[in-house]
Amino acid sequence: MKLVYASASPFVRKVMALMYETGQVDQVELMPVMTTPVSTPPEVRAANPMGKIPALIRDDGPALYDSRVICRYLDDRGKGGLYPDDTLWEILTLEATADGIMDAAVLMVYERRVRPDHLVSEDWVEAQWGKVSGALDALETRWMDSLNGPLNMGQIAVACALGYLDFRHDARNWRAGRGALDDWYAVFSERESMKATAPA
């Protein structure tokens, strides 16, 4: 198998962290690419018609894309148990919340990186941060029990989302007023899977 990836992507990091947690790192070849919404390499589009990463090129079937699909596949393949049946819907919702944070945070980066300066919309940037902030508040007030439970994919996704905020939006200080989430992340980020996949 081959993973089409860029190390700075929080969606890629989710997949990589799962690979570490389930012992599959040595079973997947990494294919590094450089891609943006306005510049998609052919090898990325060949794996994912939408031109997004990550994409998992399999030897025994069509390529898989969307990090949630890839994570479910690799968890099943590696028998990781990161989507247990008894809390499946909570874990999927937690993962979706994390992915929403990543989506908005990545859009903020692209707004300034891809658009000409005179077309950048500060209202758009702040609207995206409003989504991030609302999701962070929900994690702090509604999801700490799930975050503090047995290891699951929702936790990995949230940790990758928070790591991306530190990487690209550190000045926003997401930790302010969210002590429980900050404390949880400080512990979770010490996992080997998180250290090994830190964005660069």
CATH number at residue 166: 1.20.1050.10
Average pLDDT rounded to a whole number, residues 178-200: 97
Which of the 8 DSSP states describes residue 59?
S
Helices (H), 82-178: 88-113, 122-142, 144-147, 153-168
Predicted confidence (pLDDT) at residue 200 exceeds the cutoff of 80? no
In a domain, 39, yes or no: yes
In a domain, 45, yes or no: yes
Number of domains in the chain: 2
Confidence grade of residue 67 (pLDDT, cut at 50, 70, 90): very high
**pLDDT value for 36:** 83
Give the structural domain span for 51: 2-78
Q: Does 98 lie in the same domain as 17?
A: no
In a domain, 200, yes or no: no
Q: How far apart are CA 102 and CA 122, in angstroms?
A: 18
Domain end position, chosen among 28, 55, 78 = 78
Would strands 64-65 and 55-57 be described as parallel, antiparallel, or unpaired?
A: antiparallel
pTM: 0.96
Predicted confidence (pLDDT) at residue 61 exceeds the cutoff of 90? yes
In a domain, 64, yes or no: yes
Q: Does 89 lie in the same domain as 71?
A: no
Using an 8 Å Cβ cutoff, are 53 and 12 in contact? yes
